[in-house]
């Protein structure tokens, strides 16, 4: 297959990579063609499996990161995990390009999110901290193209939440399907985040948990990875009194911008309940939190377009429609790719980084003014050094 060189196009191909905090064992790889402002074409997308030993290494790294809490020198395991995951994702990109008939010279950049191991939002006037593992220079050398990485640090250093960064891509998605201010975009990953736009403003924030506590609950109780199709939750009953207490959590009522770590709302919220009732209650909590988030917006959307893994859980979808009083639209039903969104987002953000366009904004992460971000490892710099 012959592809035009990126230098011949105003709009260029970019590859995006995402590995979520739920450690599902896969790397999301997606390609889009964009000028950093519009989505001009969707390219291939796939899930690439991580080697089993890397998955266990990352799980151990996350445990150590929670003990570390940004106090003292970084744990040695960070660098070990960083090199291992960077090499694995780089090889996955090379296989992806070869499989779909592309060469590294066909793409402008790889947007390499890396693995979040710890994220602490700013509190009480103190700046936050964030750490994603990923070495852009190693990837640039292996893949042979520019790599944009470490997307969140600049925002955090500027006083922002460091998340969500997806807002500007969600806005492009809403524009692509012709949606107005009566729509919002909801992503259900480990954590849930929402984006709403009108003609003059863009607002985005984390609404609360999504799949993480439910997955952790199921894993702890059964050894399985998730509540597939919501079947376990469907066979249980929501503890409505406990849910009422959970929904009074200060985070849900705090003004935006705001962000979460995937462990801020743990599976232990359901302690004392049986397997099925715990799954039902945690699923309902995700839904109720979405409703609280919609109440905070200047104009309450009538419809939400849902992407991310949680959209495949029909019980979670029904609970959101009921408890958030909103029409739920699955992203795939309006021409978008619900599983690919997070990876596509970092391809899009890579293009924005290359062009010096902002990634975060006052009403998305809380920075004082629109903030550029992402470090760039240039392949030509590596060629000069070698």
- CA angle 358/41/113 to nearest 5° reads 45
Mark whether 232 and 314 lie in a shared domain: yes
pTM: 0.88
* Separation CA 357–CA 136 (nearest Å): 20
Mark whether 352 and 265 lie in a shared domain: no
Mark whether 95 and 216 lie in a shared domain: no
What's the pLDDT band for 21 if we cut at 50, 70, 90?
A: low
What's the pLDDT band for 19 if we cut at 50, 70, 90?
A: confident
Of 308, 334, 360, the one marking the end of a domain is 334
Phi and psi of 15, rounded to 5°? -105, 135
What's the pLDDT band for 6 if we cut at 50, 70, 90?
A: very low
Name the one residue in this structure whose structure tokens are 């692509």: 176
In the prediction, which pLDDT does 227 show? 95
Domains contained in the chain, number: 2
Please tell me whether the peptide bond between 164 and the residue prior to it is cis, using omega within 30 degrees of 0. Answer: yes
Residue-by-residue DSSP string for 213-261: HHHHHHHHHHS-SS-GGGHHHHTS---HHHHHHHTT-HHHHSPSS----
Share of the chain above pLDDT 90, in %: 84
For residue 355, being part of any structural domain is answered with: yes
R_g over Cα of the chain: 20
- What are 118's strand-pairing partners? 131
Q: How many CA atoms lie within 13 A of 73 on its CB side?
A: 4
Contacts of 174 (CB under 8 A, 6+ apart): 183, 185, 195, 197, 305
**Alpha-carbon distances, residue 252 vs 94, 210, 246 (angstroms):** 42, 13, 9
What is the pLDDT averaged over residues 103-115? 97
Mark 280-315 as b/e (b = at least 16 C-beta within 10 Å).
bbbbbbbbbbbbbbbebbeeebeebbbbbbbbbbeb
For residue 204, being part of any structural domain is answered with: yes
Phi and psi of 14, rounded to 5°? -140, 150
Burial of 276 (0-12, 13-18, 19+ CB in 10 A): middle
Per-residue pLDDT tens digits for 129-165: 999 999 999 999 999 999 999 999 999 999 998 988 9
Mark whether 258 and 361 lie in a shared domain: no
What's the pLDDT band for 75 if we cut at 50, 70, 90?
A: very high
Which CATH number fits the domain that encloses residue 364?
Answer: 3.30.420.40
* Separation CA 149–CA 160 (nearest Å): 18
Q: Which range of residues forms the domain containing residue 129?
A: 6-162+344-385
For residue 339, being part of any structural domain is answered with: no
For residue 16, being part of any structural domain is answered with: yes
What's the pLDDT band for 262 if we cut at 50, 70, 90?
A: confident
CB 110 within 8 A of CB 146: yes
Check pLDDT > 90 for residue 23. Answer: no
CB 251 within 8 A of CB 206: no
Mark whether 379 and 302 lie in a shared domain: no
Check pLDDT > 50 for residue 9. Answer: no
């Amino acid at each position: 297959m012959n592809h035009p060189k990126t230098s011949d196009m105003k709009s260029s191909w970019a590859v995006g990579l995402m590995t979520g905090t739920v450690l599902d064992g896969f790397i999301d790889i997606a390609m889009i063609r964009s000028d950093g402002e519009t989505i001009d074409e969707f390219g291939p997308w796939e899930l690439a499996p991580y080697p089993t030993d890397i998955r266990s290494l990352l799980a151990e790294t996350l445990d150590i990161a929670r003990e570390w809490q940004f106090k003292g020198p970084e744990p040695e395991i960070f660098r070990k995990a960083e090199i291992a995951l960077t090499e694995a994702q780089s090889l996955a990109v090379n296989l992806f390009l070869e499989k779909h008939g592309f060469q590294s010279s066909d793409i402008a950049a790889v947007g390499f999110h890396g693995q979040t191991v710890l994220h602490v939002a700013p509190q009480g006037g103190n700046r936050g901290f964030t750490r994603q593992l990923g070495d852009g220079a190693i990837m640039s050398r292996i893949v042979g193209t520019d790599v944009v990485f470490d997307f969140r640090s600049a925002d955090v250093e500027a006083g922002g939440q460091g998340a969500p960064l997806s807002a500007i891509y969600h806005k492009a998605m809403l524009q692509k399907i012709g949606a107005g201010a009566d729509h919002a975009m909801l992503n259900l990953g480990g954590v849930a985040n929402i984006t709403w736009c009108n003609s003059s403003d863009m607002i985005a924030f984390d609404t609360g948990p999504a799949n993480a506590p439910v997955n952790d609950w199921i894993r702890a109780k059964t050894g399985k990875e998730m509540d597939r199709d919501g079947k376990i939750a469907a066979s249980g009953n929501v503890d409505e009194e406990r849910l009422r207490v959970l929904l009074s959590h200060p985070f849900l009522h705090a003004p935006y911008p705001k962000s979460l770590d995937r462990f801020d709302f743990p599976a232990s919220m359901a302690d004392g309940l049986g397997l099925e009732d715990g799954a039902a209650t945690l699923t309902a909590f995700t839904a109720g939190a979405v409703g609280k988030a919609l109440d905070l917006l200047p104009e309450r959307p009538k419809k939400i377009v849902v992407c991310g893994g949680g959209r495949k859980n029909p019980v979670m979808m029904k609970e959101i429609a009921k408890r958030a009083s909103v029409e739920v639209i699955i992203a795939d039903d309006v021409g978008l790719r619900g599983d690919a969104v997070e990876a596509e987002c970092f391809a899009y953000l890579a293009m924005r980084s290359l062009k010096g366009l902002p990634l975060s904004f006052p009403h998305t992460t809380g920075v004082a003014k629109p903030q550029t971000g992402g470090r760039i490892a240039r392949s030509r710099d590596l060629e000069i050094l070698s």
